[in-house]
Chain A
């Protein structure tokens, strides 16, 4: 009766001019860490932007991983819920454990050009149906309440949110 087990991906882009306190902290912390780590790949001080490092310096791609250490403690402040993605009741609801950090670009001369992204991968959900533009899902492992059915959530697909993976179950009857 479901379309399958899905995991959602949400890519949160953070610019240096964000007004949100958490995003500002993340932007500042990752920029400071980038200033430190990029020096490992710019010993002649020839380059200024991350784009230049990626183009000219072998292994500069490691900077995504190296700088990500500065974001981990901020991710823990999210208490395991993907930010920005609200259910139709207006609350964050989407659990995550996995993430990937990415430097989109940066410039050691200009903090305002620092731009990063965190991609959150949700825990598995059962995608039951789509109602209008709302997905109806249930968290896998939800224990059914006696005769009242399973607990579900509803949310809209939105920019930067995608279905990351799909595991289809045997379908007996897709109609609810």
Chain B
């Protein structure tokens, strides 16, 4: 908000971003008037004065987290319910639970698409009201047991990959520790992809885990366990070792 005057008194950090805390010792000015903004300070081409914002100062902005930070990443996407439970251990510390790590996951829709800017006529503008622009992407911090949980949908697939979920683990300061992917048991995929719309519009995956470019040589430690059913939803679990 482009108010130039903020009430003095300092900003309490009313919330923290999921990542490194900001320098939140805001120097507060007294209620001073200043010209409107930092960007449009040049005068207009005529010789009239630039308008200075003159309305009641709103409440000062509060720190808010990235919109990735949420456990439920469904954002209105259609698909079979999937609870994703990832447990991380530190391979540099006798496989103790890895707590306080940031975990980003992302995967495709039931039809195999990722959320991204799409090129639309008039040029790919997102809508601030449309909260679902980053669907199926989320960020959580591991708890004391090294666990993060996401509520999502069963991903679809796209050629030439086997079905998968992307995972990127960072330490609490945001430094990358591990980029990996999670594979799905083939029998569960076959059930979902043949019996439930809209997955069934496309049918089973065209690439098996055993020949997938990522999983073919590492399936043992990237294959998840998936339990449940189409009607009740599925739960995916996997343990992931991270050199932290």
Contacts and interface: CB of A to CB of B under 8 A. Distances in A.
Interface in A59-76: 62, 64-65, 68-70, 72-76
A33 interface: yes
Nearest to A164: B122
A73 B11 contact: no
Contacts of A133: 44-46, 48
Given A33-B66, A78-B1, A98-B128, A64 B117 contact: yes
A72 B133 contact: yes
Interface string A83-115: 110101011100011111100000000000000
B128 A36 contact: no
Contacts of A33: 19, 66
B61 A21 contact: yes
B66 A69 contact: yes
Interface of B: 1-2, 4, 6, 11, 17, 19-20, 22-23, 26, 36-40, 42, 44-46, 48, 50-55, 60-68, 102, 104, 115-117, 122-129, 131, 133-134, 137, 168, 170, 174-176, 179
Given A15-B38, A36-B174, 19 more contacts: A20-B2, A25-B22, A28-B23, A40-B168, A65-B116, A70-B17, A72-B67, A72-B131, A73-B66, A83-B1, A84-B37, A90-B51, A90-B53, A90-B54, A90-B55, A92-B2, A97-B128, A97-B129, A156-B48
